[in-house]
Amino acid sequence: EVQLQASGGGLVQAGGSLRLSCAASGFSFDDYTIGWFRQAPGKERETVSCIGKGDGSTYYADSVKGRFTISKDNRKNTVYLQMNDLKPEDTAVYYCAADPRARVVYGYFVGGMDYWGNGTLVTVSS
């Protein structure tokens, strides 16, 4: 059974940093593209960042480029999202998700995600 457990959210002041973790189990970690998504109140879900299966190609939304970094630790089956220089508009519930068919191609996220973890709330105060 595919399981994804997100953690690391919290309350931080603008300009601060947080690191989110997504612990994965139940599937071959390197055969799945894994990503972070967020949804703010009253807004549609946004793709934040993804790391592709195999070569680990990455995708970032324009809104987070230069501030967020996605990485993965294959030994721990965990994907991280390091978030620096946080802004109030980053406030949202962040979810991690995975899919074996999704890909990151030339810096673009292609496909959808079938497996979703719980959300972790990130609140950035001004």
Backbone angles phi, psi at 35, to 5 degrees: -145, 170
Higher pLDDT, 28 or 23: 23
**Residue in this structure with the two tokens 């973890």, named with its chain if needed:** 117
pLDDT at 101: 94
User: Tens digit of pLDDT for each residue in 24-75?
Assistant: 999 988 899 999 999 999 999 999 999 999 889 999 999 999 999 999 999 9
Strands, E assignment, the chain: 3-7, 10-13, 18-25, 33-39, 46-51, 58-60, 68-73, 78-83, 92-99, 103-105, 108-110, 115-125
pLDDT at 107: 87
pLDDT at 58: 96
pLDDT at 26: 93
Rounded Cα distance between 98 and 92, Å, is 19
pLDDT at 76: 94
